[in-house]
Structure 1
Amino acid sequence: MESAFFISAFATLFVVIDPIGLAPIFIALTQGASSAHRRTIAVRATVIALILLTLFAFFGEAVLGFIGITMPAFRIAGGILLFITALDMLFERRTKRREDQAESDHPPDPSVFPLAIPLIAGPGAIATMILLAGSVDSAFGMLAVLVVMAAVLALVFLMFLSAGIIERALGHTGITVTTRLLGMLLAALSVQFVLDGLSAFGIGGA
C-alpha cells in the first residue's frame, strides 16, 4: 500500500510540476545569462520551491483557512501573475529590461518569480502537496510525501542544468521562436488557471 501511494504521489507531482516542460521556459527566462548565473538561478529557484512546498505540506491548509484565502482565489492570483510574464515574453519587454540593465552589476533574476512561484510551486503543486499531506496519517507517510517532492524537484534542477545544452542546440533563432511560442502557451495556461479558479468558485456557490 505504501509503495502504491509513493508511486501515485510521484506521478501526480511530476505531472503537475512538469520538469520537462519547465526546461524550455527556464531557457527563455534566462536567455543570455552566463552559465554561473544560470546555475545560481536554478539552485535558488528549486530551493525556494522546496521550502514553500514543504511549508504548505505541513501548514498550508491551516494558514490559507486562517487568513481566509481559498485555493480558487490562490489559483486566480497565480494565473494573473503568470499572464504578466507571458506578456513580457511575447512583446520582448524582458529583452528591453536586459538592455537597460546591461551596464548594471545585478543581472535580472527570475528565480523567485516566475520560476519558484508560480511555475514550480504554483497553485497546482501547492494544492497537490496539501492534498497529499492530508491523505496520510503517520510520520512515515509524511516523510514519503516529502521524499517524493524532493525527487521531483531534483528532476527540475537537472533539467535546468541542461538548459545550456538545449540552448546551444536551438541557436539564437530557435530560442527567439521558442520564447514567443512559450509566451503564448504561458498566456493560455494563465487563463486556464483563472478559469479553473472561477469555475471552483461557481461550484462552491452552487
Structure 2
Amino acid sequence: MDTVLFVEVFVTLFVIMDPVGTVPIFLSLTGGRSQASARRAAWQAVAVSFLVISLFAFFGQQILGYLHISLPALQGAGGLLLLLVALELLTDNEQEPTAAAGTNVALVPLGTPLLAGPGAIVAVMLFVQGIGGLSEFLAVALGVIAVHVCLWASMRYSLPILRVIRESGVLLVTRIAGLLLSAIAVQLVADSVRAFIAGEG
C-alpha cells in the first residue's frame, strides 16, 4: 500500500469533512431524539456519506457528464441546500414539531451534503483519477474508510455531551451550528460563482 498517498487522502478528507466540526451540528439536529435514535442517525449518516462518495468515486465523471452538470454547479447546489438547513437551525420552527421529529436527518443534511459534500466528492474523484495500480487503490480506499470511522466516532461519542448540556445547551448549540453551517453554505456558493466567472462551469 502507498502509505504517503493514504496519509494524503486521509488528511485531505479529514480537513474537508471535519469530524470535530460536525459534532455541534449533529447535536442540534438530534437534540430532541432518544439515544437509540441518535446512535442510529450517526451510523446511518456515515453509511450514506460513504455510499455517496463511493458512487461518485467510481461513476462521478459519467454521472455528471450524462446529466451535463459541472462541478461548480454541484457545489452551488450543495451550498444552497445547506443554507436552507442553516436557516431552519437559526430560526424557531415550532409550527410542525411532529414533522420535524419524524424527519430522518441522517440522510439530509447529515449524510449529504454535510458529510458527502461537493468538496469531499470532488477531492475523492481527483484522487481516483490518479490511481495507477492496486497499491494506490488500497491507499485511497483505506483513507476514505478511516475518515468515515472518525466521523462515526465523533458523532457517536457526542451523545454524552448531549446528556450534560440539556435543552438550553442544545438551543445554544443549535444557534451556533446554524451560524457555522450558513458560513459553510455561503462559502460553497461563493466558490461556485467564482468558478463560473473563471469559465470552469
Could you list the structure 1 runs, at least 4 aligned residues long, displaced by more than 3 angstroms after superposition: none
Give the CA deviation at 1:205: 6.0
Instruction: Give the direction of change, closer, same or farther, for the CA distance of 1:68–1:172 in structure 2 (3 Å limit).
Output: same
Measure the CA separation in 2 of the matches of 1:22 and 1:205. Answer: 30
The Cα shift of 1:147 comes to 1.0
Shift of 1:96: 4.1
Task: Report the Cα distance in structure 1 between the residues aligned to 2:199 and 2:138, rounded to whole angstroms.
Answer: 32
Q: Tell me, what secondary structure is at the counterpart of 1:192?
A: helix
> 1:193 and 1:205 mapped to 2: Cα distance?
15
Q: Who is 2:193 aligned against?
A: 198
Q: Deviations over 1:112-157 (max 9, x none)?
A: 1000110110000100110111111113312221111111001111
Deviation at 1:164, TM superposition (A): 1.4
> 8 Å contact 2:5–2:140 — kept in the other structure?
no
| Counterpart check, 1:113 vs 2:113 | no
Q: Matched residue pairs, number?
A: 201
Instruction: Report the Cα distance in structure 2 between the residues aligned to 1:96 and 1:38, rounded to whole angstroms.
Output: 23
Question: Residue 117 of structure 2 aligns with which residue?
Answer: 122
Do structure 1's residue 156 and structure 2's residue 128 form an aligned pair? no
Deviations 1:5-61 (A, max 9, x none): 111111001000001111111010111111111111112111111111111111112
- 1:73 aligns to 2:76 (yes or no): no
What is the alpha-carbon distance in structure 1 between the residues aligned to residue 24 and residue 200 of structure 2? Answer: 38
**In the aligned structure 2, how far is the partner of 1:178 from the partner of 1:29?**
10
What value does the CA root-mean-square deviation take over the aligned residues? 1.8
* Partner of residue 189, structure 1: 184
Aligned-residue sequence identity (percent) comes to 36
Contact between 2:74 and 2:118, CA under 8 Å: does it hold in 1?
yes
d(CA) in 2 for partners of 1:130, 1:119: 17
Q: Distance in 1 between matches of 2:65 and 2:192?
A: 16
Q: Which moved more, 1:48-57 or 1:165-174?
A: 165-174
Match of 2:162 in 1: 167
What residue is the counterpart of 1:132 in the other structure?
A: 127
Of 90, 98, 112, 1:100 maps to: 98
TM-score for the superposition, normalised by structure 2: 0.93
Using the alignment, how far apart are the partners of 1:96 and 1:90 within structure 2? 15
Equivalent residue letter for 1:14: F
* Unaligned ranges ≥5, structure 1: none
**Aligned partners of 2:9 and 2:140 also within 8 Å:** yes
Instruction: State the TM-score, normalizing by the size of structure 1.
Output: 0.91
Question: 1:55-113: per-residue Cα shift (whole Å, max 9, x none)?
Answer: 111111222122211110000000000000001001122x543x2349xxx73210110
Amino acid at match of 2:25: I
Which AA in structure 2 matches 1:204?
A: G
Matches of 1:62 and 1:11 in 2, distance apart? 27
Unaligned runs of 5+ in 2: none
Q: What SS does the corresponding residue of 1:201 show, helix, strand or coil?
A: helix
Q: CA deviation at 1:187?
A: 1.0
